[in-house]
């Protein structure tokens, strides 16, 4: 037999076994062990009204007035619960601390859940649906959940307004228990620690509750039920909560989670694959004497072969092993990347987007931005609606497109417009966003001006305005202080603030945004943005900082309260009036409430209105050192911190540079109050 074929014949069984074992190991799931003493947005997907503040997750809207709200916080990556190779279902154990508080103790409901679901993008309805189930499609969502319910809902056979239950694909619990048997009131406002353990061997789920961090010896709820039929190969884990006409607040403070029961497959070499075909002869042949030189030569050849063949054999195995391991690692890395991208933006096909927008038909235009046109896209296969931003064909727009894609694809916050995907084909630059039913804040505030009709009978309600201010502050706090790299938006304005179906603020259009490391001075010398929203020092020196975003936020807040644009022409002579100057003038006269939008017809909370206007003036202070950071703003609006002292007279600034900084000069330079401004400062 050819020596090469013989070598292949000998090593093939070994290689086959090694490859099989490596493949099995690559596909074998591993036990998961998560531990979050506090939360960050790097590992969580926030849906609905949920938010993150100081490492604590809030699941429902934080308002002083009764409202309906639902939210969820979900771990980003899917977790393996079932191994199809070994037909093994994992056991799991989780521990978390939560509190259910209330501004008004008589206004309770509805509770929170810990859930396991194959879906991480669907949020359930408010009220008794606990953010788990869609009220119009009760059988759509599938899940295994433990509910901590604070309202009796007879529709779901709730026993009372303080119970724990195990739910599977339905809010009618498999079994419930009363925490008061252990003197635990779910809505006491105290921090409660919960342990949920499922043993696949015993087919049992147990729930433990305690006001301390010590796990009780006996569970408060024990259910004998096999969950293997409900735990799929990959599932998402998280929390949800809801309210309906109440001020109940739901917080998750820390969380640990682990799975047990998966064992790694180790590579094995089968000894029976090596065959011995040597048979000793019955009559050994007579020995023939040979010369000593020939003997030494044969010994040298034999020694060479004895060393060479095994060495070659080892080299082949090492090379093959190296290639195999490298390929295996690449496959594993690819799997990890794919799992990371499950919840992220995807690449769309150009034909798909062209069909969804009817060939980018003018009737589908939702609006125009500085760097492109936004179209409404209807995808008939899924019945979903999205917004497609089509950037202009230029080098500059490509730069802005790549900037927006690289920045927003990494960001996750409930008050940011969610990027769904992108497309770079046919010379087109396209971004796909979630569709915002109520359009932009600019349209809602000023549509009656732009289109020549009066919408006095349908103004933006005060509660919505205040909630928009809080939502926008939360988004900017996240960008400035909670991201791994600080994001300066640089174009905060009403037309870039979108409103979802519940009039929650969603900040979008990151085309001008810039990433930078925290505590590093920004180096940008390109002034870019919209007149009326630009901070004086940014306009003068062209350096964007978080304080320039704070100034723009202050202008937006004043717009929200006053219903006026940042710069407007008034009177017959068309004199330009700056909104910040106008409000500060009323404040100096002791008539701050006089700045309120007349379309609200006095239907607002005066204390809240004063607070918003003073926050707006604080943020729009010409002196950047006098402006608060966005975290302080958020705390003030949430009633968690005292407001800042605002001087009665607007501070003034002087610059050594001779650039025109008066309103009339700036507007005459730019053409109109809404012009997009770009000034290069050398």
User: Which CATH number does the domain housing residue 462 bear?
Assistant: 1.10.510.10
Sign of the four-CA dihedral 360, 362, 364, 366 = positive
Report how far residue 236's alpha carbon sits from residue 117's, in angstroms, rounded to the nearest whole number.
5
Q: Are 535 and 624 in contact (CB under 8 A)?
A: yes
> Do 447 and 381 belong together in one domain?
no
**pLDDT at 54 (0 to 100):** 82
Render pLDDT for 468-501 as a digit per residue (tens, 0 to 9).
999 999 999 999 988 777 888 888 999 899 998 8
What contacts 24+ positions apart, CB below 8 Å, involve 515-521? 515/406, 515/407, 515/485, 515/486, 515/487, 516/485, 516/486, 516/488, 517/485, 517/486, 518/485, 518/486, 521/545
- Token pair for 363: 């009737």
**Helix 606-619 with 462-477: angle, nearest 10 deg:** 40
> Do 145 and 250 belong together in one domain?
yes
Residue length, the chain? 682
Report how far residue 344's alpha carbon sits from residue 340's, in angstroms, rounded to the nearest whole number.
7
DSSP annotation of 490: S
> Do 445 and 373 belong together in one domain?
no
Is residue 654 pLDDT above 90, yes or no? Answer: no
Is residue 678 pLDDT above 60, yes or no? Answer: no
**pLDDT at 402 (0 to 100):** 64
Phi, psi angles (nearest 5°) of residue 114? -105, 130
Q: Are 241 and 225 in contact (CB under 8 A)?
A: no
**pLDDT at 322 (0 to 100):** 67
> Do 354 and 206 belong together in one domain?
no
Report how far residue 334's alpha carbon sits from residue 345's, in angstroms, rounded to the nearest whole number.
17
The answer to whether residue 211 sits within a structural domain is yes
Is residue 166 pLDDT above 50, yes or no? Answer: yes
**pLDDT at 660 (0 to 100):** 42
Q: Which of 227-231, 301-305, 323-327 has the lowest mean pLDDT?
A: 301-305
Report how far residue 209's alpha carbon sits from residue 212's, in angstroms, rounded to the nearest whole number.
9
The answer to whether residue 587 sits within a structural domain is yes
Host domain of residue 371: 346-385+395-400+422-434
Q: Which residues have C-beta within 8 Å of that of residue 367, sequence separation ≥ 6?
A: 373, 374, 439, 440, 443, 495
- How many folded domains does the chain comprise? 3
Q: What is the largest CA-CA distance in the chain?
A: 130
pLDDT band at 512 (very low <50, low <70, confident <90, very high): low
Mapping DSSP onto H, E and C, the string for 380-425 reads: CCCCEEEEEEEECCCHHHHHHHHHHHHHHCCCCCCCECCEEEEEEE
End-to-end CA distance of the chain: 80
Q: Which residues have C-beta within 8 Å of that of residue 483, sequence separation ≥ 6?
A: 41, 411
**pLDDT at 329 (0 to 100):** 55
Mean pLDDT of 271-288: 38
The answer to whether residue 59 sits within a structural domain is yes
Cis peptide before 322 (omega within 30 of 0): no
DSSP annotation of 441: H
- Token pair for 80: 């393996």
What pTM, to 2 d.p., does this model score?
A: 0.51
Which of 59, 63, 53 has the alpha carbon at shortest distance from 71?
59
pLDDT band at 67 (very low <50, low <70, confident <90, very high): confident
Mean pLDDT of 48-73: 87
Render pLDDT for 95-134 as a digit per residue (tens, 0 to 9).
999 999 987 777 788 999 999 999 887 788 888 899 998 8
Is residue 287 pLDDT above 60, yes or no? Answer: no
Report how far residue 240's alpha carbon sits from residue 143's, in angstroms, rounded to the nearest whole number.
12
> Do 429 and 484 belong together in one domain?
no
Q: Which of 207, 241, 260 is the last residue of a domain?
A: 260
**pLDDT at 219 (0 to 100):** 96
Mean pLDDT of 359-375: 83
Residue of higher predicted confidence among 157 and 391: 157
Report how far residue 247's alpha carbon sits from residue 327's, in angstroms, rounded to the nearest whole number.
55
Q: Are 669 and 679 in contact (CB under 8 A)?
A: no
Mean pLDDT of 506-522: 62
Is residue 519 pLDDT above 70, yes or no? Answer: no
Sole residue written with tokens 């809240």: 608
Q: Is 389 annotated as a binding residue?
A: yes
**pLDDT at 256 (0 to 100):** 95
- Token pair for 561: 């309260």
> CATH no. for residue 178?
2.60.120.200
The answer to whether residue 461 sits within a structural domain is yes
pLDDT band at 334 (very low <50, low <70, confident <90, very high): very low
**pLDDT at 662 (0 to 100):** 45
The answer to whether residue 304 sits within a structural domain is no
> Do 63 and 99 belong together in one domain?
yes
> Do 72 and 210 belong together in one domain?
yes
**pLDDT at 58 (0 to 100):** 93
Render pLDDT for 408-454 as a digit per residue (tens, 0 to 9).
777 888 899 888 888 888 878 888 988 888 889 998 888 744 444 44
Q: Are 81 and 66 in contact (CB under 8 A)?
A: no
> Do 350 and 490 belong together in one domain?
no
> Do 427 and 576 belong together in one domain?
no
The answer to whether residue 313 sits within a structural domain is no
Q: Which of 49, 110, 153, 491 is catalytic?
A: 491
Q: Are 57 and 50 in contact (CB under 8 A)?
A: yes
> Do 503 and 376 belong together in one domain?
no
- Token pair for 204: 């049992």
Q: Please, where are the H alpha helices in 28-120?
A: none
> CATH no. for residue 359?
3.30.200.20
Q: Which of 153-162, 177-186, 457-466 has the lowest mean pLDDT?
A: 457-466
Is residue 335 pLDDT above 90, yes or no? Answer: no
Q: Is 238 helix (H, G, I), strand (E, B) or coil?
A: strand
The answer to whether residue 488 sits within a structural domain is yes
Q: Which of 133-137, 200-204, 410-414 has the lowest mean pLDDT?
A: 133-137
Q: Are 391 and 437 in contact (CB under 8 A)?
A: no
Q: Which of 260, 292, 309 is the last residue of a domain?
A: 260
Is residue 197 pLDDT above 70, yes or no? Answer: yes
- Average pLDDT score over the chain: 78
Mean pLDDT of 274-291: 39
The answer to whether residue 302 sits within a structural domain is no
491 annotated active-site = yes
Sole residue written with tokens 């917004």: 387
> Do 133 and 153 belong together in one domain?
yes
Sole residue written with tokens 């082949």: 316
* Degrees, nearest 5: CA angle 629-632-635: 150
Is residue 248 pLDDT above 60, yes or no? Answer: yes
Phi, psi angles (nearest 5°) of residue 610? -60, -40
> Do 363 and 454 belong together in one domain?
no
């Amino acid at each position: 037999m050819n020596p090469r074929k013989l070598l292949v014949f000998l090593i093939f069984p070994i290689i086959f076994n090694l490859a099989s074992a490596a493949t099995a190991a690559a596909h074998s799931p591993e036990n998961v062990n998560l531990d979050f003493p506090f939360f960050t947005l790097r590992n969580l997907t926030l849906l609905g009204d949920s938010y993150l503040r100081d490492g604590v997750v809030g699941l429902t809207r934080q308002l002083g007035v009764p409202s309906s709200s639902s939210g969820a916080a979900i771990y980003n990556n899917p977790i393996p619960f079932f191994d199809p190779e070994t037909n093994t279902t994992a056991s799991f154990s989780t521990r978390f601390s939560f509190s259910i508080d209330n501004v008004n103790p008589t206004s309770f409901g509805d509770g929170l859940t810990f859930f396991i679901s194959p879906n991480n993008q669907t949020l359930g309805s408010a009220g008794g649906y606990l953010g788990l189930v869609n009220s119009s499609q009760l059988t759509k969502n599938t899940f295994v959940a433990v509910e901590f319910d604070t309202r009796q809902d007879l529709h779901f056979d709730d026993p009372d307004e303080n119970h724990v239950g195990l739910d599977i694909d339905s809010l009618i619990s498999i079994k419930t228990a009363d925490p008061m048997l252990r003197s635990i009131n779910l809505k006491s406002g105290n921090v409660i620690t919960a342990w949920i353990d499922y043993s696949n061997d015993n087919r049992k789920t147990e729930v433990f509750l305690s006001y301390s961090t010590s796990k009780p010896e006996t569970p408060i709820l024990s259910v004998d039920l096999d969950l293997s039929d409900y735990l799929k190969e990959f599932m998402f884990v998280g929390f949800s909560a809801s309210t309906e006409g109440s001020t109940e607040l739901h917080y998750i403070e820390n969380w640990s989670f682990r799975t047990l029961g998966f064992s790694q497959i180790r590579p094995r070499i089968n000894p029976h694959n090596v065959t011995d075909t040597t048979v000793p002869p019955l009559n050994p042949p007579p020995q023939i004497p040979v010369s000593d030189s020939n003997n030494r030569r044969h010994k040298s050849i034999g020694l060479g072969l004895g060393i060479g063949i095994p060495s070659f054999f080892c080299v082949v195995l090492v090379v093959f092993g190296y290639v195999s391991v490298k390929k295996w690692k690449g496959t594993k890395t690819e799997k990890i990347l794919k799992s990371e991208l499950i919840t992220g933006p995807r690449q769309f096909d150009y034909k798909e987007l062209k069909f969804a927008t009817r060939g980018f038909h003018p009737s589908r235009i939702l609006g125009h931005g500085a760097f492109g046109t936004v179209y409404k896209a209807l995808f008939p296969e899924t019945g979903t609606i999205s917004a497609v931003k089509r950037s202009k064909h230029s080098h500059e727009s490509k730069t802005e497109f790549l900037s927006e894609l690289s920045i927003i694809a990494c960001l996750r916050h409930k008050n940011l417009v969610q990027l769904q995907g992108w497309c770079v084909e046919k010379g087109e630059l396209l971004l796909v966003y979630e569709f915002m039913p109520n359009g932009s804040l600019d349209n809602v505030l000023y549509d009656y001006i732009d289109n020549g009709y009066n919408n006095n009978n349908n103004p933006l309600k005060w509660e919505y305005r205040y909630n928009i201010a809080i939502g926008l502050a939360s988004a900017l706090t996240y960008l400035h202080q909670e991201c791994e790299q600080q994001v300066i938006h640089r174009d905060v304005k009403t037309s870039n603030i979108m409103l979802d179906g519940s009039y929650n603020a969603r900040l979008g259009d990151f085309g001008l945004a810039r990433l930078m490391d925290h505590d590093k001075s920004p180096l940008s010398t390109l002034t870019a943005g919209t007149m009326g929203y630009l901070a004086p020092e940014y306009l003068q020196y062209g350096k964007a900082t978080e304080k320039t975003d704070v100034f723009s936020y202050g202008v937006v807040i004043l717009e929200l309260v006053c219903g006026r644009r940042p710069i407007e022409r008034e009177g017959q002579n068309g004199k330009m009036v700056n909104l910040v100057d106008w409000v500060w003038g009323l404040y100096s006269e002791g008539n701050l409430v006089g700045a309120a939008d007349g379309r609200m017809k006095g239907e607002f909370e005066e204390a809240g209105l004063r607070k918003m206007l003073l926050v707006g003036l604080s943020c729009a202070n010409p002196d950047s050192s006098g402006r608060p950071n966005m975290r302080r703003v958020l705390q003030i609006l949430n009633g968690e911190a005292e407001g800042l002292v605002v001087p009665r007279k607007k501070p003034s600034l002087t610059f050594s540079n001779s650039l025109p900084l008066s309103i009339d000069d700036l507007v005459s330079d730019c053409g109109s109050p809404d012009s997009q401004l770009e000034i290069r400062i050398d």
